[in-house]
């Protein structure tokens, strides 16, 4: 039996609904291929005020789930990081996997990457090598230097990782895994989605606005300006509440003032239902990565607000502006409402699972050294 043909214990670490959306298709693919799949669930997933999205993880068939509460709602990121390091380290001593899969740029992923590196446990980092306008970029690049292997979304991301001294043999371009979900039928129709989430609008936009940790002094003013512009537009919007980043409470204070007749506010949605909601939206607005990744892939117009997604994508369906450019914002809402663009495949074609399995079922992946060296 070759190294690759062996069935492996693969542990996925998730701390937010966003990273779970990217890890879910990979986990399901690995499980279907016969690997033993488990999840370490922490972060906003286990906080009731953010919709208890851990339930989405528990719905996965044939997957073992371990929950860990790593924060109180008021904890700063350094404290959350420290708690996660301790909890994850303790867990790995009980259930050591063959591979730990982390995603992106959150403190939970960075904690897991550090624990793996210091204990010489093989890890794979999904969607490293990307750039953005926040402290998340520093976390993401830390994860790159700590991880054993890099499963990136684009050739540009691969080039950045090579520029950080990572070995070419450790870098694999697989695309953005969440596009696999959107590339498939959701299994629900828009009428079911509207019924389940009590959305009364015939036409609607989607609004998602997260905190930027380095802009907490101004983030509430940005949110207030944005949502005032949405109110002034006369349009209806489904608003998804922000992640649990520091400053999210300031945005929530603004969201709570929105009139219910034109704004349906939800803490979170099931991924299949959100996919169908997005496919039928007139546009998406805010600073979520959905607006620069999933929406362009689906041809949905998106209006990107502020610095959070700076330089993430150059797709023609994206319009970027400052939160306080209210006249331009109003014009873009009117001119882009209900429009459609050609699908953008800059982050893949929705076939990441096949590429992921091709990577982990190749002997060379399991022969990558756990002691890393800078590659010239």
- Please report the pLDDT score of residue 4 as a whole number: 55
127 and 252 fall within a common domain: no
Alpha-helical segments (H) within the chain: 17-32, 54-58, 77-94, 107-118, 136-146, 155-163, 178-183, 190-196, 219-233, 248-255, 271-279, 294-298, 326-336, 352-360, 363-366
- Please report the pLDDT score of residue 48 as a whole number: 87
156 and 202 fall within a common domain: no
192 and 170 fall within a common domain: no
18 and 167 fall within a common domain: yes
For residue range 163-213, list pLDDT tens digits in order: 999 999 999 999 999 999 999 999 999 999 999 999 999 999 999 999 998
Q: How is residue 216 annotated by DSSP? A: T
In Å, how far are 78, 149, 240, 251, 259 from 245, measured between CA atoms? 12, 27, 14, 11, 25
75 and 165 fall within a common domain: yes
Establish if 81 belongs to a structural domain. Answer: yes
Chain-centre distance for alpha carbon 213: 17
Establish if 37 belongs to a structural domain. Answer: yes
**What is the C-alpha separation between 126 and 104, in angstroms, rounded?**
6
**What is the C-alpha separation between 147 and 110, in angstroms, rounded?**
10
155 and 50 fall within a common domain: yes
Burial of 120 (0-12, 13-18, 19+ CB in 10 A): exposed
102 and 202 fall within a common domain: no
Establish if 375 belongs to a structural domain. Answer: no
**What is the C-alpha separation between 238 and 254, in angstroms, rounded?**
15
146 and 207 fall within a common domain: no
Partners of 303 in beta bridges: 285, 319
- Please report the pLDDT score of residue 134 as a whole number: 77
End-to-end C-alpha distance for the chain, whole angstroms = 35
Establish if 165 belongs to a structural domain. Answer: yes
Structural domain count, the chain: 2
For residue 101, give the H/E element and its range: strand 99-103
What is the token pair recorded at 301? 């117009």
**What is the C-alpha separation between 304 and 311, in angstroms, rounded?**
11
What SS3 class is residue 340? Answer: coil
Residue keyed to tokens 């209806």? 236
**What is the C-alpha separation between 193 and 269, in angstroms, rounded?**
10
What SS3 class is residue 345? Answer: coil
Low-confidence ranges of the chain (pLDDT < 50): 1
**What is the C-alpha separation between 125 and 120, in angstroms, rounded?**
15
28 and 152 fall within a common domain: yes
Establish if 268 belongs to a structural domain. Answer: yes
Q: Which of 127, 214, 171 is nearest to 359 (CA)?
A: 171
Residues 183/350, Cβ–Cβ less than 8 Å:
yes
217 and 319 fall within a common domain: yes
- Please report the pLDDT score of residue 5 as a whole number: 61
What is the token pair recorded at 370? 């756990």
Give the number of other Cβ atoms within 10 Å of residue 155's Cβ: 10
Domain of 356? 9-175+350-366
- Please report the pLDDT score of residue 52 as a whole number: 86
What is the token pair recorded at 323? 């939160």
Give the number of other Cβ atoms within 10 Å of residue 103's Cβ: 30
In Å, how far are 25, 46, 322, 350 from 204, measured between CA atoms? 28, 30, 22, 26
Residue keyed to tokens 């537009």? 233
What is the token pair recorded at 139? 């976390």
152 and 287 fall within a common domain: no
279 and 323 fall within a common domain: yes
Q: What's the CATH number where 297 sits?
A: 3.40.50.2000
Per-residue 3-state assignment (H helix, E strand, C coil) for 258-312: CCCCCEEEECCCCHHHHHHHHHCCCCEEECCHHHCCHHHHHCCCEEEECCCCCCC
């Amino acid at each position: 039996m070759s190294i690759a043909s062996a069935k492996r214990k693969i542990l996925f670490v998730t701390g937010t609904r966003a990273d779970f959306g990217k890890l879910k298709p990979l986990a399901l693919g690995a499980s279907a291929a016969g690997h033993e799949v488990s999840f370490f669930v922490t972060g906003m997933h286990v906080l009731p005020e953010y919709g208890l999205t851990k339930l989405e993880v528990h719905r996965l068939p044939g997957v073992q789930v371990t929950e860990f509460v790593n924060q109180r709602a008021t904890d700063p990121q350094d404290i959350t990081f420290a708690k996660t390091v301790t909890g994850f380290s303790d867990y790995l001593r009980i259930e050591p996997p063959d591979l730990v899969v982390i995603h992106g740029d959150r403190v939970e992923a960075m904690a897991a990457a550090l624990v793996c590196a210091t204990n010489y446990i093989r890890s794979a980092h999904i969607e490293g090598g990307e750039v953005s306008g926040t402290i998340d970029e520093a976390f993401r690049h830390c994860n790159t230097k700590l991880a054993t292997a890099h499963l990136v979304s684009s050739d540009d991301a691969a080039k950045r990782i090579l520029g950080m001294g990572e070995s070419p043999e450790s870098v694999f371009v697989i695309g953005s895994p969440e596009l696999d979900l959107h590339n498939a039928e959701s299994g629900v129709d828009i009428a079911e989605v509207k019924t389940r989430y009590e959305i009364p609008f015939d036409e609607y936009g989607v609004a998602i606005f997260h905190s930027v940790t380095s802009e907490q002094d101004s983030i509430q003013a940005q949110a207030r300006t944005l949502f005032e512009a949405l109110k002034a537009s006369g349009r209806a919007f489904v608003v998804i509440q922000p992640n649990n980043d520091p400053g999210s409470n300031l945005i929530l204070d603004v969201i709570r003032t929105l009139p219910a007749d034109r704004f349906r506010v939800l803490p979170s949605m099931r991924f299949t239902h959100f996919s169908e909601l997005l496919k039928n939206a007139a546009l998406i607005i805010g600073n979520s990565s959905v607006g620069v990744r999933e929406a362009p892939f689906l041809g949905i117009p998106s209006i990107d607000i502020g610095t959070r997604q700076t330089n993430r994508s150059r797709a023609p369906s994206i319009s970027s502006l400052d939160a306080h450019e209210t006249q331009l914002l109003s014009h873009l809402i009117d001119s882009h409402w209900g429009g459609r663009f050609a699908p953008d495949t800059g982050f893949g074609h929705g076939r990441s699972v096949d590429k992921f399995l091709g990577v982990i079922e190749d002997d060379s992946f399991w022969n990558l050294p756990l002691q890393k060296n800078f590659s010239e």
